[in-house]
Structure 1
Amino acid sequence: MANGQYFESLLSISVYCDSLSGISGDDREEDPVVADLVTAGRILFTSRQASHVVTPGRICIRDTKASWEFYCEPATRVRVVTIPRHLVFSRAASPGSVTGSYLADVSTPEVRFLLNFLEAVEKSRDDLHRSASAQALAADACTALFSGMLFDQRASAIQDHPNATVTAARNFIEKNLGSTRLSPAMVAQNVGVSLRTLQRSFSDADDTVMAFVRRRRLQSAHAELRRLGGTARISEIAARWQFADASHFIRNFKATYGSTPASYLRNLGGRGTAE
């Protein structure tokens, strides 16, 4: 179910959908730049270079020349805005200065400005439909906003604040702990900084990206073990949290918690198996 408006080259619609999956983009220059602002539910976008989980109160802007797989949870509500790709990229200083996607909270000043602009467009729809020049101005303004968010000023701003980089990286890692593809390069791409900047930011916090990932995976496995108790299967938990095998999980668990998972379960009054 969708409703909205289209004029000049700007499309703005509100969409409600049940569980839905598909592919957005087909490697064509005419594929648009798309913004998805989620107000309920959740959307997962995945491409060869990045993966984004868009939850309520967040916006994701994507260049759909690259194909993105997507999955919408049931009862998802999203505001979708599209602009032709060539208009957005024509404003880039160089092709390398634009990232393929942008993820942010609605509290971000740029996103608040975009939302205020779209609200003004909605209120002025009658005037816009009567004036081709007004439509062109509105489309041009939206194009400038999209390109400004995709340009690498965003990365520069994050690089100036190492703590913000670490916070953003940890938030992304938390949402992707179970992914087999999770890596420092993937985190850097989604946060919008270079791999070197990401690693330096974690080093300043006396940590490394993968050390944080391993700690959080082990903590998540520990929490699942407690929750399942006697019904827990250690090999399944190890696989779910991306340990190489059950033996690797057992060694890490014992080093951190002082006992093997099986002994830990017995102490809880349950029983487990390493099979």
Structure 2
Amino acid sequence: MSLTARQARESENVFHDWKDGPFSHLRRLAIPQQSSGAGFKFAANGHLFEELLSVKVYCDALTGVSGDDLDRDPIVADLVTSGRITFSRKKASHVVNPGQICIRDTKASWDFVCEPGTRVRVVSIPRHLVFSGRGSLGVFNQSYLSDVAAPEVRFLVNFLEAIEKSSDDLDRSCPARSIAMDACAALFSGMLTNQPHGVVHDHPNATVKAAKNVIEGNLDRHDLSPAMIAQLVGVSVRTLHRSFSESNDSIMAFTRRRRLQKAHAELMRHGKAAKVSEIAARWHFADASHFIRHFKSFYGATPAAYLRSQGETDGKE
């Protein structure tokens, strides 16, 4: 979904079709007036296996309510990789930053605010599957908030990746889908039952991973900077620098390496026909000499010498 500024301002009926789709638990959706001038974009890519939804979402600024106080409302997990989502109800409030996950029972409706440019992995599963086999629903927490560094969250993420890789088998096999849904329901059930106490803090590794996601998606932008990355990740510039330093790296060093690797791939693709000055400009190096110097430092030879050596190697094979 991509809306112009005018369409975003007239957004009341834009989300009408969502009431019968996989995001049917969302209601009273609205694009904040202060953000509508830039238009609105929403994209979701993933799978729906019967009633188990696993998608990666990009969403601009959006507000609304998740859940309608009904038994049919699902259990929903939001794993944020950039941006920020705030969920609140009565006395409870969760700010989900990059590298954090929030699992919610949407039978208890939650107001939410999604910041512009938020990327999030959304997983939802029918509530009755998560609660089946339990003698009392009173033992369940209405929400769970944690860092992705927590062992149970890492296990869940690995499980979801396995589901994605097995999507063809799941599409073909009803028993496989049932097993996947039962396993996911058991994971959600365990996490909502055994919610840890205490405040959730940003984990440096999670912040670095979220920042790298942002960098990968914006390598072609000339204005990519620590300030922009920090804003999209949802942390301060100081926290961003500190998180990278704790991983023995720096933000711009990582960005330069990835741009060099992109430039290297383009160089190899075009071979002798490659124009170094154009490649340097495309990947935002100050000029050709600046690019050549960094390329030689990273790959041990200038682009021209590197191409010659690769040609000689190919000739010997």
CA distance in 2, matches of 1:132, 1:97: 31
Structure 1 equivalent of residue 106 of structure 2 = 64
Report whether the alignment pairs 1:154 with 2:195. Answer: yes
Map residues 67-146 of structure 1 onto 2, 5 A cutoff.
67-146=109-188
Structure 1 position 3, deviation (Å): 1.2
Map residues 1-275 of structure 1 onto 2, 5 A cutoff.
1-151=43-193, 153-155=194-196, 158=197, 165=198, 168=199
- Which is worse superposed, 109-118 or 40-49? 40-49
Structure 1 position 105, deviation (Å): 0.3
Q: C-alpha deviations, 1:134-177, integer Å up to 9, x for none?
A: 001001000000000001x334xx4xxxxxx4xx27x59xxxxx
CA distance in 1, matches of 2:143, 2:186: 15
CA distance in 1, matches of 2:86, 2:180: 29
Structure 1 position 91, deviation (Å): 3.9
* Segments of 4+ moved more than 6 angstroms: none
Q: Could you tell me which runs of 5 or more consecutive residues in structure 1 were left unpaired when the two chains were aligned.
A: 159-164, 173-275
CA distance in 2, matches of 1:49, 1:11: 29
CA distance in 1, matches of 2:91, 2:178: 33
- Structure 2 counterpart SS, 1:28: coil
Instruction: Supply the AA of the counterpart residue of 1:154.
Output: Q
Q: Could you tell me which runs of 5 or more consecutive residues in structure 2 were left unpaired when the two chains were aligned.
A: 1-42, 203-317
CA distance in 2, matches of 1:111, 1:95: 22
Structure 2 equivalent of residue 230 of structure 1 = none
Contact conserved, 2:141 with 2:195, CA < 8 A, in 1?
Answer: no
Identity over the aligned pairs, expressed in percent? Answer: 64
CA distance in 1, matches of 2:91, 2:181: 28
Q: Between Structure 1 and Structure 2, how many residues are aligned?
A: 160
Alpha-carbon spacing, 1:42–1:122, altered in 2? closer, same or farther (3 Å)? same
CA distance in 2, matches of 1:60, 1:143: 15
Structure 1 equivalent of residue 284 of structure 2 = none
Aligned-pair RMSD on alpha carbons? 1.5
Instruction: Supply the AA of the counterpart residue of 1:124.
Output: S
Q: TM-score, normalised by structure 2?
A: 0.49
Instruction: Supply the AA of the counterpart residue of 1:46.
Output: S
CA distance in 2, matches of 1:113, 1:38: 16
